[in-house]
Amino acid sequence: MPKTPRSGPEAEDAALVFMPSGLRGRFPRGTALLAAARSLGVDIDSVCGGRGICGRCQVTVGDGDFAKLGIRSAPEHLHPLAANEIRFDARKGLQPGTRLSCSARLAGDVVIDVPAASQIHRQIMRKRTDARAIQVDPVVRPLYVDFEGIAGPDPADNLRAALQAQWGVEAILSGAAAAQLTGVEENLTVALREEKTVTAIWPGFREHLVGLSVDIGSTTLAAQLSNLGSGAILAEAGMMNPQIRFGEDVMSRVSYIMMNPGSEIELGEVIRRAVRDLAGQCAEQAGLERRDIVEITVVGNPIMHHIFLGLDAVPLGQAPFPLAEDGPLTIPAADLDLDLNPGAQVHVLPCIAGHVGADTSAVILSEAPQLSDEVVLLVDIGTNAEIVLGNRDRLLACSSPTGPAFEGAQISSGQRAAAGAIERVRIDPISLAPRFKVIGSDLWSDAPGFASSVAGIGVTGICGSGVIEALAEMFLCGLITVDGLVDPGKAALTPRLVRDGKTYCYLLHAGPPEIRIIQLDIRNIQLAKAAAYAGARLLMNKMGIEKVGKIVLTGAFGSYMDPKYAMILGLIPDCPLEQVSAAGNAAGTGARIALLNREARLEIAAVARGVEKIETALDPDFQDQFVGAMAFPHKSHPFPNLGKIVALPVPGNTGPGGRRGRRGRNQA
């Protein structure tokens, strides 16, 4: 028998059900919804402590029969709008059916919906459907207090008493926060860190706190300013790493420090100044000041990590690459001259090994292989490839020296991914003529209007993703062999293959400037891709597996690169292509997760400790893997999934255009 719906007026007390949690209870009429919610363990936000100021506690009341719950709910089953709500409505507006749960009181049975914006532990869904959601539960939160009835001689004692009385919090005041107290405040907002320390103070009411997450890459820095209450990104900024003037890659910067004693101070100041500038840019974009930032998380590779923190990075330049510090660190931002809020704290994620840094920890936090049943391969390609392999049972990590070829360095016509760089390449298998796309234009080079579309930017060079595609297409067309040699026999078939000293090169763009793929370019990409593949394969061998369940490419290059072409070259192991995805700046996302969720800091500290570190430089299997991985896609490893979607040339076949005798769909 279905229950007869109860109505409010007949009930002695009132039934209350919160949605979407489904938590329910019975309460005396007159009970405030927020108090009832807390007693049931429902997380409703509040900054002002129920004074009707912040509006963070808004809920909506159901209207109608809820047969499954056995309740008839109606707006009039709550007391009419309280004075606080009328004031708030006049100031900021309350939607019809919406109430401030701190002020609305029960008059009958109700079903109450708590929208995501009013939940303390709200979730942020990410664009990629397979990416873990971010739960907003930051380490620091705002609390509003007033001093009504509290008038002792010591302002700090008064604040502690107010926090105890109004929030039930036994707080201690940081020196920076205490220095901000004047003693004449009537009310103020504090930043409460880890539920115990007041780190910042503002006069009056302040609804939101903001924090910054920073990824210090050896080439670029990226920062995001987030609202610590909603988790929303308020501003983003990036810049080239100004340390580049001391050395193009991290190892050359370590060499610079070794050769110029004392220069580590300057390198550290340069990078901290860059972080400070990014904080200023983000704050300005959001209409704030740098002093409004109360928390910052930082990730970076081990050398960037050490230089940023003022630690000795020189030992990281040679085996066994010992870290001066590998655990997570929390230190005052003022100690690093970041010029944020005087009480702001910096949290730096843990490093994993001498070549596997806090940026890789952040990638793990973002992609969560430790929660996966299937084996996940994470590949972050820069001048090194940081590689993580594993699942919920076991995680392994290594770093493999790919060099700068994927960033366009060591490539004859190479350049960074910027306007004018060729980023996509196709070669007709019959005519062997190329067409391409450049960054800054949506048109292929053989499309009408291409010339005018690039009139302002030109075709200036080729970036890493363009080189990958050019080589893969050349390989598919038979212009280069599985061993990476330009096939001179093809010169008779196309004017694009032209002599270049003792060998041949492929003319991709007649110019100016002329853009060619020369034999040395191919060799440098072979070395880079073999390093990445050998690192991945080394970890697979350690784990005793022949295939992975899914591959995630991270970092800027990983996001630009087409996974199919990466697999044709054998940069990554064979895998169903639909199981290969690009995660963008996963290190930056991990830094943001650590900013927004305090549990995530504990999680990654524990996970990083448990990662098995594999040292590629010392492992003989790495060299063996490297040699076989020089071929396209590999000398001996089969690529059956790739063979289902691409007709791979048969080794030794020299048919015209490579079109005959390929390993077809069913042959690979």
Provide the minimum distance between the beta carbon of 185 and ligand FES in the complex, in angstroms, as a whole number. Answer: 19
Q: Which is nearer to ligand FES, 112 or 439 (CB)?
A: 112
CB 221 within 8 A of CB 274: yes
Give me the half-sphere count of Cα atoms (radius 13 Å) on the Cβ side of residue 93: 1
With CB under 6 A as the contact rule, the residue among 52, 342, 633, 657 that binds ligand FES is: 52
Nearest to 250 by CA among 464, 379, 407: 407
Q: Which is nearer to ligand FES, 27 or 321 (CB)?
A: 27
Provide the minimum distance between the beta carbon of 190 and ligand FES in the complex, in angstroms, as a whole number. Answer: 15
> Residue 552 and residue 377: Cα distance in Å, rounded?
6
Query: What single-letter DSSP state applies at residue 491?
Result: G
Draw the binding track, 446-485, toward ligand FES (x: CB under 6 A; -: no contact). ----------------------------------------
Provide the minimum distance between the beta carbon of 143 and ligand FES in the complex, in angstroms, as a whole number. Answer: 11
| Local structure of 244: helix, strand or coil | helix
With CB under 6 A as the contact rule, the residue among 14, 33, 36, 56 that binds ligand FES is: 56
CB 377 within 8 A of CB 389: yes
**Is residue 46 close enough to count as binding ligand FES by CB under 6 A?**
yes
Provide the minimum distance between the beta carbon of 54 and ligand FES in the complex, in angstroms, as a whole number. Answer: 4
Q: Which is nearer to ligand FES, 42 or 614 (CB)?
A: 42
**Is residue 48 close enough to count as binding ligand FES by CB under 6 A?**
yes
Region near ligand FES per CB under 6 A, out of 47-55, 333-341, 364-372, 604-612: 47-55
> Residue 658 and residue 650: Cα distance in Å, rounded?
9
Region near ligand FES per CB under 6 A, out of 51-59, 267-275, 548-556, 617-625: 51-59
| Local structure of 364: helix, strand or coil | helix
Provide the minimum distance between the beta carbon of 199 and ligand FES in the complex, in angstroms, as a whole number. Answer: 21
Nearest to 389 by CA among 540, 594, 549, 515: 540
What amino acid is encoded at 325 in this protein? E
**Is residue 142 close enough to count as binding ligand FES by CB under 6 A?**
no
**Is residue 54 close enough to count as binding ligand FES by CB under 6 A?**
yes
CB 601 within 8 A of CB 328: yes
> Residue 630 and residue 582: Cα distance in Å, rounded?
24
Provide the minimum distance between the beta carbon of 93 and ligand FES in the complex, in angstroms, as a whole number. Answer: 13
> Residue 53 and residue 45: Cα distance in Å, rounded?
12
Query: What single-letter DSSP state applies at residue 607?
Result: H
Provide the minimum distance between the beta carbon of 84 and ligand FES in the complex, in angstroms, as a whole number. Answer: 7
Sheet holding 13-19, edge to edge: 24-28, 13-19, 110-113, 58-61, 98-100
Helices in 218-343 by DSSP H: which ranges?
250-259, 263-285, 302-309
User: What are 246's two structure tokens?
Assistant: 């001391």
Q: Which is nearer to ligand FES, 89 or 269 (CB)?
A: 89
Q: Which is nearer to ligand FES, 88 or 504 (CB)?
A: 88
Strands 345-348 and 293-300: parallel
DSSP bridge pairs for 220: 240
With CB under 6 A as the contact rule, the residue among 8, 55, 108, 633 that binds ligand FES is: 55
With CB under 6 A as the contact rule, the residue among 18, 32, 50, 476 that binds ligand FES is: 50
Region near ligand FES per CB under 6 A, out of 42-50, 110-118, 365-373, 510-518: 42-50
Please give the residue whose beta carbon sits closest to ligand FES in the complex: 102
Residues of span 375-414 touching ligand FES by CB under 6 A: none
DSSP per residue, 483-504: TS-B-GGGGGT-TTEEEETTEE
First-to-last alpha carbon distance for the chain, in angstroms, is 64
Provide the minimum distance between the beta carbon of 50 and ligand FES in the complex, in angstroms, as a whole number. Answer: 5
Q: Which is nearer to ligand FES, 50 or 466 (CB)?
A: 50
Q: Which is nearer to ligand FES, 142 or 155 (CB)?
A: 142
With CB under 6 A as the contact rule, the residue among 16, 36, 57, 479 that binds ligand FES is: 57
Dihedral sign (CA 329, 330, 332, 338): positive
Region near ligand FES per CB under 6 A, out of 55-63, 312-320, 462-470, 645-653: 55-63
**Is residue 53 close enough to count as binding ligand FES by CB under 6 A?**
yes
Element (H, E) at 17: strand 13-19
Strands 293-300 and 210-216: parallel
Residue 596 makes CB contacts below 8 A (sequence gap 6+) with 124, 134, 135, 136, 137, 138, 211, 226, 228, 231
Region near ligand FES per CB under 6 A, out of 44-52, 189-197, 307-315, 503-511: 44-52
**Is residue 343 close enough to count as binding ligand FES by CB under 6 A?**
no
Region near ligand FES per CB under 6 A, out of 53-61, 223-231, 267-275, 454-462: 53-61
Provide the minimum distance between the beta carbon of 51 and ligand FES in the complex, in angstroms, as a whole number. Answer: 6
Q: Which is nearer to ligand FES, 230 or 391 (CB)?
A: 230
> Residue 589 and residue 649: Cα distance in Å, rounded?
39
Residues of span 524-543 touching ligand FES by CB under 6 A: none
> Residue 15 and residue 357: Cα distance in Å, rounded?
53
Region near ligand FES per CB under 6 A, out of 40-48, 145-153, 207-215, 330-338: 40-48
Query: What single-letter DSSP state applies at residue 282?
Result: H
Strands 13-19 and 24-28: antiparallel
Residue 453 makes CB contacts below 8 A (sequence gap 6+) with 441, 442, 443
Provide the minimum distance between the beta carbon of 113 and ligand FES in the complex, in angstroms, as a whole number. Answer: 16
Interface with ligand FES (CB under 6 A), residue total: 12
Nearest to 207 by CA among 429, 420, 49: 49
Q: Which is nearer to ligand FES, 55 or 328 (CB)?
A: 55
**Is residue 100 close enough to count as binding ligand FES by CB under 6 A?**
yes
Provide the minimum distance between the beta carbon of 208 and ligand FES in the complex, in angstroms, as a whole number. Answer: 13
Provide the minimum distance between the beta carbon of 206 and ligand FES in the complex, in angstroms, as a whole number. Answer: 12
CB 247 within 8 A of CB 253: yes
Q: Which is nearer to ligand FES, 112 or 507 (CB)?
A: 112
Positions that interact with ligand FES (CB under 6 A):
46-48, 50, 52-57, 100, 102
